[in-house]
Each structure stands twice: as structure tokens, then as C-alpha cells.
Amino acid sequence: MSKKLHILFLCGWFPSRVLPTNGDFIERHAKAVSKKHKVTVLHIISDENCIQKIEIVSEQKDELDIHIAYIKKTKNPLNKLLLYRKAFLSLLKNIGDFDVVHLNKLYPFGIFSLYLKKTQKKPFIISEHFTGYHLPLSKNISFIEKFISKKIAKNAAFICPVSNNLKEAMQQLGFDGNYKRVPNVVDTNLFVPSESKNSVFTISHISNMVNRHKNIEGLLKVIKKLETKLANFKVEIIGENSSNYISFANKIDINLNNVTFIDQIPHKEIANRLQNSDLFVLFSNYENLPCVILESFSCGVPVISTNVGGIKEYFPEDFGKLIKKNDQEELLKSILLFEKSFKTKTLNKQKMHNFVIDNFSENKIALEFEKLYFKALK
């Protein structure tokens, strides 16, 4: 497998000037693959600030050739469809020949993958991260989307959900295909253990701050209860618009000397925040395989998480604790147990880091995809 391939990453989600962090986990997959093969990224997104109907921006970043088409926003669905089609064909002219399409998010960009397979005989694989395939969210998927998605799935060489749990959800929707689980990737050179010790027990939470998804208000209620049990602790709540929750914290009378709300930070700074934590907490209502749990493990920091989605598939028992969804009392008890031992118990941080290297490093994930690319070409 010494031949260097040209992989077209066709992305329904990708960081852009409209949504700077949207699909950053896809960008990390692309960067991993680019260590071994040429990777070109194609993304199209509506932009209300567009003056022209279509504006194409191309750049080279971290060994990736990135081509993004910004589409003038329109309320007419037919006009939108025609603009996306025109933008896609324009972008293809900039890209040149390639070997395999790596589709990210099955629908709707999979329609372009079908087009490339039918017209240019280009095989495609699919990476899937979408939590919307799980019940009850999947009830919102229209008949048309399901119908087209089944066609796309059937024509893919491989479908690569980040967890078996997501695979099962997709199969229940009738998305039949050749499934091969490939998880998220972690930069194991950035997310490394730190030997520094905190004098104050420090908890971190990092997420997209969407309450129905991450249950931020439930977490804050537990922090309020924690104040009656612990005299001295710190919590960092990190993510886009996290400061919007200050009003809720005031409403339930949280001591803001204990809790810091930090809005969106660059990905590189997340490593530092995790390294300076004694515990990472995720209290989500649903998930697939959150990158931040794996990044926490890579930093040698234990995790308390709700046992939802595919999290348990990659969660060694001695790396933290899985709890029931929305069980505030269990979360409180679990935090107190970790606090009790945080000054005395010595974690095997290197064991945690090595686990991530073996399963989620750039080299590991790039090799997983490489095997599938060559099989797809056969």
C-alpha cells in the first residue's frame, strides 16, 4: 500500500467563516489522512453575508487543500438546490483528478457522492457522526431524506460510524451497507499527561453548550449541591456561549467563586485546560463518541460521563465512571468519590495516554481509513 492516493473529503460539516468550529472533528480526520495521502476538502455552506450568489474561497492549511463555496442565502429551496449544484460543479474544476471520495455526513452531500460514482466511477466511503440518527431525534427525519439516504448507503463501499451504537441506529432506519467502525481521532502529541498537581480539586466540562444535548443546567444543579458537601473546589465550564448560563447559575444561587464560564477557545488550548483538571465531567442526554472524552484520557485525566451512545465502547473501567442519564444524585456521589481520592490516589496517566495512542492516534486512524480506500478501489 505504498501508492499515495488523492482523497476527496466531501464534507457536509466543516469549519468555515460562517461556523468556525462546526465539524472540527472531521477536519481532524482529514489531517490524519493527510499524513499519508493527498487530501482535498470540498464544502458548501449558505452565508447571509454573501454579496455574490456563489463565492469560492480556497486555501492550504495543515497539508489540506480546502475549497469552500459560500452560497447567498435564499428562502427558495429550488434556488438553493441549483446554487449548491452549480457551486459543486465549479469546485470540482478546481480540484482535478482524485481516487476516492470520503463523504462526511451521509445526507445531503451523499447525493454528490452518488453523482461522482455514476459519472466518474469514483468509489466512496462514508464517515458518520450524526446524533440525529438516534431515537427520539430520528423521528424528525423526513421520508424523502430516509429514501435518498438508503440509496446513498447502499452505494457506499464502506460506512464508518464512530461507534457500533451509531451503526445500530442507522441500520434500524434501513441504511443497509458495509459497516466498519472507525472512531474519532486524537492528536496524541498535543494531548499529553501533565505532572502538575492542583492544590484545589478542579473539574472541567467542555462541550457545545447546547442544553438539550449536553444537559448543562442539570450539571449546574449538581454543582450547586456540591457546594453543600465541599468547602473548596473549582469548576470550569468551557464552550461557545457558556456565559449564557451565568443567569441560570445566579437563579439557583451558585457561588460564582467556584465556577468559571469560559467561551469558545482554540482547540490547542483545550489540551491545557484538561491537563490542569483533576476530573472531566460530561452529563449528556445523548452522544456518539465525544472527542473530548478521548482527549481527556490522553491527558491522563479521569472522566465521569453518562452511559449514552457509543461512549462505553471505548471506556476502560479504571479510567473513570459511567453513570445513568440525568441522574443528578449519582453524578454528585461519583464526583465526591473522585474528590476524596484526588490527593492520595496515583493515576497511571501513561497507561491512559497509551490507550489513546493505540486506538485513536492520527497514525492509527489514518491506517484504518487507508485500508478501506484501497479495498474500495478494488
* Per-residue pLDDT tens over the stretch 333-362: 999 999 998 766 677 999 999 999 999 999
Q: What mean pLDDT do residues 29-58 have? A: 96
- Please tell me the predicted confidence (pLDDT) of residue 303: 97
Cell output for 99 = 481516487
Q: What mean pLDDT do residues 12-35 have? A: 95
Radius of gyration of the chain (CA): 22
Task: Give the mean pLDDT of the chain.
Answer: 95
- Please tell me the predicted confidence (pLDDT) of residue 117: 98
Please identify which residue in the block is written with the cell numbers 440518527.
133
Please identify which residue in the block is written with the cell numbers 457536509.
12
What is the residue-wise DSSP string for 310-363? TGGGG--GGGEEEE-TT-HHHHHHHHHHHHHHTTT----HHHHHHHHHHHHBHH
**Does residue 92 have a pLDDT over 90?**
yes
d(CA 31, CA 36): 10
- Please tell me the predicted confidence (pLDDT) of residue 2: 64
What percent of the chain clears pLDDT 90, i.e. is strictly above it?
A: 93
Q: What mean pLDDT do residues 154-177 have? A: 97
- Please tell me the predicted confidence (pLDDT) of residue 343: 66
**Does residue 286 have a pLDDT over 90?**
yes
- Map out the domains of the chain with their CATH numbers: 6-185+362-377 (3.40.50.2000), 202-358 (3.40.50.2000)
**Does residue 1 have a pLDDT over 60?**
no
Cell output for 269 = 488550548
Q: What mean pLDDT do residues 311-331 have? A: 97
The DSSP output letter for 5 is P
Q: What mean pLDDT do residues 83-101 have? A: 95
Question: Mind listing the pLDDT tens digit for each residue in 175-228?
Answer: 999 999 999 999 999 999 998 888 999 999 999 999 999 999 999 999 999 999
Three state DSSP letters for 253-310:
CCCCCCEEEECCCCHHHHHHHHHCCCEEEECCCCCCCCHHHHHHHHCCCCEEEECCCC
The DSSP output letter for 3 is P
Cβ atoms of residues 102 and 3 within 8 Å: no
Cβ atoms of residues 26 and 64 within 8 Å: no
Cell output for 202 = 478542579
Who's near 352: CB < 8 A, 6+ residues apart?
193, 297, 298, 299, 300, 301, 319
d(CA 224, CA 215): 15
- Please tell me the predicted confidence (pLDDT) of residue 26: 97
- Please tell me the predicted confidence (pLDDT) of residue 236: 98
Vertex 274: Cα angle to 351 and 220 (nearest 5): 120
- Please tell me the predicted confidence (pLDDT) of residue 344: 66
